[in-house]
Amino acid sequence: MFSEQITKIEDIKEKLGKIFKMKDLGEARWILQMKIERSDMRLGLRTISISQEQYVEEILEHHGMANCNPARTPMGNDIQLLVLNEAEVDITEYQRCIGSLMYLMICTRPNIAYSVGVLSRHVSCPGKAHMQAVKWVFRYL
């Protein structure tokens, strides 16, 4: 909860406690695979940042890209992704990759939105070039 006045926060917690079974665990540090970091209030800064570094590491490991060479951009500028009539790679695996990237894009990584949008057009019939482009995005992450 966000408020300048601790009494308002305590009042809301008390009211919620009468309606729902709940336990105050203090400040949130993790939610939905997102790490929440707060700045040191003693410095006068009031910032909150979220990251999914651990989730990125997990999906890279899952897709065999944990030790890949990094890319500087989310997508190559000379990439040609043609619409295919027949899939050349495992459709389900391609869709899993796109789903993982979409979750990142929506939560904390809007910088991959264009690449994910282009790649998601081919989820029903992906080819080798499409999978290479997905791996490029993984390398960028």
Specify whether 47 is located in the same domain as 58: no
In 21-135, the DSSP E strands lie at: 30-31, 34-38, 48-51
Asked if residue 97 belongs to a domain, the reply is: yes
Residue 122 CA to residue 137 CA, distance in Å, equals: 15
Asked if residue 134 belongs to a domain, the reply is: yes
Domain count along the chain: 2
Using alpha carbons only, give the angle 79, 141, 105 rounded to the nearest 5 degrees: 85
pLDDT of residue 3 exceeding 60: no
- Does residue 107 contact residue 52 with C-beta atoms inside 8 Å? yes
- Pick the more confident residue, 2 or 17: 17
Q: Which residues make Cβ contacts (< 8 Å) with residue 19, sequence separation at least 6?
A: none
Specify whether 87 is located in the same domain as 34: no
pLDDT of residue 128 exceeding 90: yes
Specify whether 98 is located in the same domain as 114: yes
Query: What is the pLDDT, as a whole number, of residue 6?
Result: 79
Specify whether 60 is located in the same domain as 106: yes
Domain encompassing residue 121: 53-140
- pLDDT tens sequence across 100-117: 999 999 999 999 999 999
Specify whether 39 is located in the same domain as 58: no
Cβ count within 10 A of residue 119: 25
Helix axes of 128-140 and 113-120: crossing angle, nearest 10 degrees: 160
Specify whether 36 is located in the same domain as 57: no
- pLDDT tens sequence across 66-81: 999 999 999 988 888 9
Asked if residue 1 belongs to a domain, the reply is: no
Specify whether 71 is located in the same domain as 129: yes
- Does residue 50 contact residue 107 with C-beta atoms inside 8 Å? yes
Specify whether 25 is located in the same domain as 79: no
Query: What is the pLDDT, as a whole number, of residue 113?
Result: 96
Percent of the chain with pLDDT over 70: 95
Specify whether 30 is located in the same domain as 60: no
Specify whether 117 is located in the same domain as 62: yes
Which residue, 58, 16, 54, is CA-closest to 37?
Answer: 54
CA distances from 58 to 25, 83, 116, 141 (A): 26, 30, 18, 12
Specify whether 45 is located in the same domain as 58: no
Specify whether 58 is located in the same domain as 93: yes
